A = this chain, B = another copy of it.
Amino acid sequence: MEKVKAGIIGASGYAGAELVRILMNHPQVDLVGINARSYLGQAISELYPGFYQTCDMVFEDADVVIEKSDVIFTALPHGASEAFAVKCAGKKIIDLGADFRLDDEADYQQWYNLPYQHKELHTESVYGLSEIHREQIKKARIIGNPGCYPTSISLGSYPALKNGIVDGTHVIIDSKSGVTGAGKGLSDNTHFPRTNEAFAPYKAGAHRHTPEIEQMLSEMAGEKVMVTFVPHLLPINRGIISTMYYPMKKDMTLEEVHKIYTETYKNEKFVRVLPLGKYADLKFVKFSNYCDISLHMDERNSTLIVVACIDNMFKGAAGQAVQNMNIMFGLEEDCGLNMIAPSF
């Protein structure tokens, strides 16, 4: 079979560089071009020396990259991907940014302070949470690749909301992210002596992933779900973990809930429902495409506690993007994604 020709627009950022790392070893893909506006003509191995002698590809002009690609990954700040997407007529696009995630333009305008520039593109796009939107992804031309926080939260909530086990009127979601989530750009908050041995929340109740989370959870529940979402910055490199507090709606034991979760995900390689008594831990999903979920019950308060974690750069960005590509091109869904998390 001919390999898929893949190109990346915005390959100098963390999500883009992780895509390069994954695609370089993907047996069914030829990475044919990479672009990064600020580094044209430079080798990616200059920016990320881990690529030295393994991938010394040079950043090229976006048009050149698009021209030779079957599928284009865009890994850009919000508001920037539409301009490239319009140039990709007839080609498949997987956008790792925020621009194709929200169904309702009004939400996008409210949270991102921008209108859509090319409304027509959004009629061709689907939100691509691989496990849940597989059928739509197969047929779509443009994928809005889910955000890192929403991926952990959606996968952790799906069986409970879909089966009406819990009440979605008001869900508390306390998430923690590694510092790669803040990207490659320098800031006081990511300066090592400031960040190391520190921990704090940020954008409490005001993070831009909130409408995406509520969109997904509402879709699952079949009714409006509202969340109080508070992200925190963890002094580690990678990983996102979300602790979710769901009031029980049905009178079920933890064992019964656990059974529904395991049943729901029994055919999903990348979602692991841990045995009861275990705790989902960032440690065991890092550098892999897995989402680990653990379930706990506060019986005194009839509250289901769901913990879901992923590698924010992998399942939360580049890994899921490749998973979606695999689905779009009819490849094995785990092709090139079988990395096992190192335990140490």
Contacts and interface: CB of A to CB of B under 8 A. Distances in A.
Nearest to A210: B300
Nearest to A176: B199
Contacts of A338: 25
Interface stretch (A3-11, A132-140, A147-155, A188-196): A188-196
A183 to B, nearest CB: 9
A58 interface: no
Contact of A226 (B174, B226, B287, B300): B300
The interface centre, meaning the residue of A54, A282, A338 with most chain B CB atoms within 10 A of its CB, is A54
A45 to B, nearest CB: 10
Given A191-B186, A192-B235, A236-B196, A201 B52 contact: no
Given A201-B243, A305-B204, A283 B230 contact: no
A17 to B, nearest CB: 6
A135 to B, nearest CB: 24
A84 interface: no
Contacts of A303: 170, 172, 205, 228
B18 A200 contact: no
A86 interface: no
Interface in A133-187: 170, 172, 174, 176, 178-180, 184, 186-187
A243 B192 contact: no
A274 interface: yes
Interface residues of A, number: 87
Contacts of A226: 300-301
B278 A340 contact: no
A150 to B, nearest CB: 17
Interface string A10-26: 00001001100100110
A333 interface: no
A232 interface: yes
A269 B282 CA distance: 32
Contacts of A285: 50
Given A54-B340, A196-B236, A201-B279, 10 more contacts: A51-B340, A178-B193, A190-B193, A193-B237, A194-B283, A197-B236, A199-B309, A200-B241, A228-B298, A235-B235
5 contacts: A179-B193, A190-B192, A197-B282, A201-B243, A204-B296
Interface of A: 14, 17-18, 21, 24-25, 48-55, 170, 172, 174, 176, 178-180, 184, 186-188, 190-202, 204-205, 226-228, 230, 232, 234-239, 241, 243, 245, 269, 272, 274, 278-288, 292, 296-301, 303, 305, 307, 309, 313, 338-344
